[in-house]
Structure 1
Amino acid sequence: MALPFPDDVSGGSENRQEHLTRRPSSNYTLSSQAVESEPSAGTLSRLDSVGQRGLTPTNTPVSSTLSRGTKKTAGEMVRSARASASSGSSGDVERNAGSKEAGPAGAASDDANVGEGEKDSLNREEHKQIHWFQAGAVMTAETVSLGILSLPHALATVGYVAGIILIIGIGLLATYTGYVIYQLKLRHPHVRSFDQGLGMIFGKPGLWIGKVLQTLLLIFIMGAHINIFSIMMNTLTNHGVCTVVFMAIGTVVSFVVSMPRTWKSTSTVSIASCISIATATVIAMVAIGIEKRGVGNTFAVVPAELTSFSRGAMAVSNIVLAYNSQIAFPSIIEEMKEARDFPKALAMLQTLTITIYIVVAVVIYHFAGQDVAAPAIGSAPLLVRKIAYGIATPTIVVAGVISAVVAAKQIYGDFWHKDPKVLREKSLRAYGSWYGILAALWVVAWLIAEAIPVFGQLLAVIGALFGTWFALGFCGMFWLWMNWQGSMKSSYGISWKKTSLACLNTAIILMSAAICVFGMYGSIKAIVQDAGGKAPFSCANNAMVAE
């Protein structure tokens, strides 16, 4: 997909079309179609504007190749840009712009002039390994994980009508915010994580606040998967071993699976993860449907006496968290062979998630009724519960592993930022530092899983505080920042499209703040009301006891 100028730069000449085309190397190149006429003043001013706004990744703006009152063909402009690049300017207006015409000799000449920056760019290209469908599998594994099984309980809190509207509405918002991340990545290819994006907006304080928030969220997600791993093992073995041992086993298994440094190594396992959670969910739905314990005990709108504002706020927060995979998008785009294909992966992800979420939430709530458990597998009979947990094992492991890889990549990149070639080395220092970072992250996650008695409620607090912002709020800030630098007006007056999008993104930020505050209130209230949790580092069975 071509990335056009934000404004029409066709100028006043109908027989000349100048545009920027996206190349895999994240540079832009002037392409032209036959033209001998003089560029119009409108074209020149627009090109000047584009150069000043930084959309041309070169220190020499496109407009520098043009001058008012000078007749140049499009081909001459391309040759001028190439001459500027080869004469020592740091502009990257496609060193290979004329390689197709120059043939092998021209390519060899360009290779001879490749500097260190170009070599690093080529190395980064070699690091891009995954296709869009692999990226979609990784994103789906990160999104459609155990959070799906909390959605029936959310419907039991707010009812069919509000629940379905929230699932669809928040899903569409998550699709839009995911596309905003894609836009941010195209304009600023160096951004590999949310903290770097926040750093561009708020400077160094934003960078470090983003790092802390992102790492905390990911570590708590990792801890949640360790906790759920122990629940699964206690269910499968009828509490055959001390729960502390099961958590330690889960930590070691997760560490081993997360050892590969690239997403390609993880994406194959992610496909198994998607299949496993889908199969486990279907099995649980069938078993719950056969029992039909809650049929007739459901509501389109839950009566006030059966719910509360705090519970409703928690339900909304849980639905938002079910879509919270945007934190992984920059890293995934970074390793895609064609970043332009990311919208395909995003469409694949959101089509699957919205559909699956509605089906699972409605069907399980319909048959389990108001007393549906969270996670919903707990509403199934004991034998079916064992089968479902066993089949869901890949998801229990992989979704936590992806969180670990995202966190480790951030720390890994920061650790070697002064010597970036290490990131692509296969050396002792490269692997040693990678494994050391992973081990430290998993140890902290294990300590969190062991030390916090009522971990589910505390995770809800962390989700309300951080997850809502990563899924929605920060993306709204990214859009406003990218577009605030440009003009909100077109040549015909106010740009209603941009104005509408500005209002939408402002509303997303305000909504995120509201969900954060009220979701945290509901979560804290739930923790206080359920204060009799299990003791830290206890061997007690943390699995649901069969009825």
Structure 2
Amino acid sequence: MSEPVVRDHVPSEKYNTEKESSTSDLGTSDNVLGGPIAGEVTDFEEQRTDLEKQKTAEGNAHFHRLGWKRLTIVLIVEAIALGSLSLPAAFASLGMVAGVICCIGIGFIAIYTSDIVGKVKIAYPEVAHYADAGRLLMGRFGYEVVGAMFVLQLTFLVGSHCLTGTIAFLNITDNGACSVVFGVVSAIILLLIAIPPSFAEVAILGYIDFVSILLAIGITIIGTGVVAGQAPGGMSAVNWSAWPKPDLTFAEAFIAITNICFAYSFSMCQFSFMDEMHTPSDYVKSIWALGLIEIFIYTITGAVVYAFVGVDVKSPSLLSAGHTLSKIAFGVALPVIFISGSINTTVIGRYIHGRIYKDSVTRFINTPKGWATWLAVITTITVAAFIIAEVIPIFSDLLSISSSLFISGFTFYLPAWMWFKLLRKGKWYAKENLVNSIMNAFCFVIGIVVLVCGTYASIDDIIKSFQAGTTRGVFSCAPIG
């Protein structure tokens, strides 16, 4: 048997000669063995740069397709959902007169503060999310604090929709499975709808969303009206009042008020939506269209359902439509529950993803890495929202806590602060500023009162509910509602 050939890998004389020749003439050689010369742009780098430029151009075009009509639809998707389902219960606490006054008054205040948000976006185009406005107010500290508020509030909103989805499935199936199972199903649906990253795509679903909530409310109103008319004594026997209920506690009153505030929280995502507009100055048409639609729907829903059902109206109000009609109403409401919930996942995902990849083409979510990281971000958000929905399984109190802690700022005191610091020209008491100064001071005070009193009332009510055993435990299979 022959001996194996052993190679000692010593370079041949010919190889050494070629290498010396190559390295001694760098100015004219192709530098195949030594790699790219420092400062030289290779064909690969040129191709990569061209690809990044192409993806950046495509991304910019893709994320600037919103006009004022689509913005209105996107705002409707974000705003008109859970709020309308809790308003009849708020009317039951406050009474018809105070309920109508609060519903209309807070609605117009929300339009006013939303207009301030729009003006800040026009004056400072670099503001892409509410956190950027926080930077203008308080520097890096403001950016981080407002950004944390932004993330937490949106996560609370997704959790609220996850909880409502659970309630809907339990109602439709007559508690056919553990509520945690339906919570998981709701979370998965919310995640799937949130996958498209552009708000222009959400606008397409917005029409389905809007029709869904109108049909659900309509079924509830008609159903409760028929039940009230057929009851002994008819409509006149319904136990409703123009004034607050006699045994109304401080906590109940403020939970009702904060739920109305929650219904008008559309300015929170306005910076994010306007950042995709091709003509941002058209925002005024959108906020007035949305604001007036909201005031009409909320006031009619709250007043009429309360008048038909009385003080025993439930939250969400679809539960008051009777056994069969409640199932139908919840079935019709499923699109709005999940479409309106998922847009909050999209907003928070865009903020976090854009912050991580601020100076990278990855932020446009049109590359494999972009899509992979985007899916990871929205999945994390959805899991967090699901946990919140299971830890605080009381619908009205969940809305009230989020409204008190965060919407008090996004809708009231932060826009007022922005006007004083970023938009005001001259002294606050100057003739041209006096009306706006008074209005914004009023909005600021409202925000602080809702923050302090609303948070206290919500926490107090939750503690009492758990102590009395009137609510289920954490991650419990018990029915909700």
Is the pair's TM-score, using the shorter chain for normalization, greater than 0.5? Answer: yes
1:456 positional shift: 4.1
Tell me which residue corresponds to 1:540.
Answer: 478
Query: Relative to total residues, which structure has the larger helix share, 1 or 2?
Result: 2
2:68 is the counterpart of 1:132: yes
1:505 positional shift: 0.8
Find 1:460's aligned residue among 390, 397, 400: 400
Given that residues 120 and 423 in structure 2 are in contact (C-alpha distance below 8 angstroms), is that contact kept between their aligned partners in structure 1? no
Give a deviation string over 1:352-400, Cα, whole Å, max 9, x none. 1001111111111111111111111111111000000000011110111
Matches of 1:210 and 1:382, distance apart in 2: 43
Matches of 2:365 and 2:70, distance apart in 1: 24
Tell me which residue corresponds to 1:471.
Answer: 411
Tell me which residue corresponds to 1:364.
Answer: 305
Matches of 1:358 and 1:454, distance apart in 2: 24
Matches of 2:324 and 2:179, distance apart in 1: 20
Matches of 1:354 and 1:455, distance apart in 2: 22
What pairs with 1:7-406 in structure 2 (closer than 5 Å)? 124=60, 127-292=63-228, 295=236, 296-303=238-245, 305-406=246-347
2:374 is the counterpart of 1:434: yes
Tell me which residue corresponds to 1:511.
Answer: 446
Matches of 1:144 and 1:352, distance apart in 2: 9
Q: Normalised by the size of structure 1, how large is the TM-score? A: 0.74
Given that residues 68 and 286 in structure 2 are in contact (C-alpha distance below 8 angstroms), is that contact kept between their aligned partners in structure 1? yes
Given that residues 328 and 406 in structure 1 are in contact (C-alpha distance below 8 angstroms), is that contact kept between their aligned partners in structure 2? yes
Q: Which secondary structure does the structure 1 equivalent of 2:175 belong to?
A: coil
Matches of 2:433 and 2:58, distance apart in 1: 36
1:521 positional shift: 2.1
1:423 positional shift: 2.2
Matches of 1:178 and 1:132, distance apart in 2: 14
Q: Normalised by the size of structure 2, how large is the TM-score? A: 0.83
Given that residues 135 and 141 in structure 2 are in contact (C-alpha distance below 8 angstroms), is that contact kept between their aligned partners in structure 1? yes
Matches of 1:504 and 1:460, distance apart in 2: 25
Find 2:362's aligned residue among 396, 400, 422: 422
Matches of 1:517 and 1:347, distance apart in 2: 29
Give a deviation string over 1:91-139, Cα, whole Å, max 9, x none. xxxxxxxxxxxxxxxxxxxxxxxxx99x979963553112211111110
Matches of 2:78 and 2:439, distance apart in 1: 26
Matches of 1:298 and 1:497, distance apart in 2: 45
Matches of 1:277 and 1:424, distance apart in 2: 32
**Cα 1:514–1:155, aligned 2, differ >3 Å: closer, same or farther?**
same
Matches of 1:373 and 1:123, distance apart in 2: 45
Given that residues 321 and 471 in structure 1 are in contact (C-alpha distance below 8 angstroms), is that contact kept between their aligned partners in structure 2? no
- Counterpart of 1:518, as a letter, is C
- Counterpart of 1:142, as a letter, is E
1:340 positional shift: 1.7
Find 1:488's aligned residue among 416, 419, 427: 427
Matches of 2:393 and 2:302, distance apart in 1: 28
**Cα 1:125–1:268, aligned 2, differ >3 Å: closer, same or farther?**
closer
The sequence identity of aligned pairs, in percent, is: 27
Matches of 2:174 and 2:347, distance apart in 1: 34
Give a deviation string over 1:503-540, Cα, whole Å, max 9, x none. 21122111110111111222122112211221222222
Aligned residues: 420
Matches of 1:539 and 1:310, distance apart in 2: 28
1:302 positional shift: 2.4
Matches of 1:122 and 1:446, distance apart in 2: 34
Give a deviation string over 1:446-472, Cα, whole Å, max 9, x none. 122223344642442222111221112
Matches of 2:92 and 2:432, distance apart in 1: 38
1:335 positional shift: 0.9
Matches of 2:435 and 2:271, distance apart in 1: 26
Structure with larger Rg: 2
Given that residues 284 and 385 in structure 1 are in contact (C-alpha distance below 8 angstroms), is that contact kept between their aligned partners in structure 2? yes
Find 1:448's aligned residue among 361, 385, 388: 388
Matches of 1:540 and 1:309, distance apart in 2: 29
- Counterpart of 1:152, as a letter, is P
Q: Which secondary structure does the structure 2 equivalent of 1:487 belong to?
A: coil
Given that residues 132 and 345 in structure 1 are in contact (C-alpha distance below 8 angstroms), is that contact kept between their aligned partners in structure 2? yes
Tell me which residue corresponds to 1:39.
Answer: none
Matches of 1:273 and 1:126, distance apart in 2: 23
Given that residues 255 and 396 in structure 2 are in contact (C-alpha distance below 8 angstroms), is that contact kept between their aligned partners in structure 1? no
- Counterpart of 2:151, as a letter, is T
Matches of 1:425 and 1:158, distance apart in 2: 47
Tell me which residue corresponds to 2:4.
Answer: none
Matches of 1:125 and 1:478, distance apart in 2: 30
Tell me which residue corresponds to 1:410.
Answer: 351
Give a deviation string over 1:172-202, Cα, whole Å, max 9, x none. 0100111111101101111011111011110
Given that residues 258 and 405 in structure 1 are in contact (C-alpha distance below 8 angstroms), is that contact kept between their aligned partners in structure 2? yes
- Counterpart of 1:359, as a letter, is I
Matches of 1:148 and 1:453, distance apart in 2: 19
Q: Which is further off, 384-393 or 362-371?
A: 362-371
Q: For structure 2, which runs of at least 5 residues remain unmatched after alignment?
A: 1-51
Q: Which secondary structure does the structure 2 equivalent of 1:191 belong to?
A: coil
Q: Which secondary structure does the structure 1 equivalent of 2:311 belong to?
A: helix
Q: Which secondary structure does the structure 1 equivalent of 2:433 belong to?
A: helix
**Cα 1:138–1:505, aligned 2, differ >3 Å: closer, same or farther?**
same
Give a deviation string over 1:35-89, Cα, whole Å, max 9, x none. xxxxxxxxxxxxxxxxxxxxxxxxxxxxxxxxxxxxxxxxxxxxxxxxxxxxxxx
- Counterpart of 2:367, as a letter, is S
Q: Which secondary structure does the structure 1 equivalent of 2:242 belong to?
A: coil
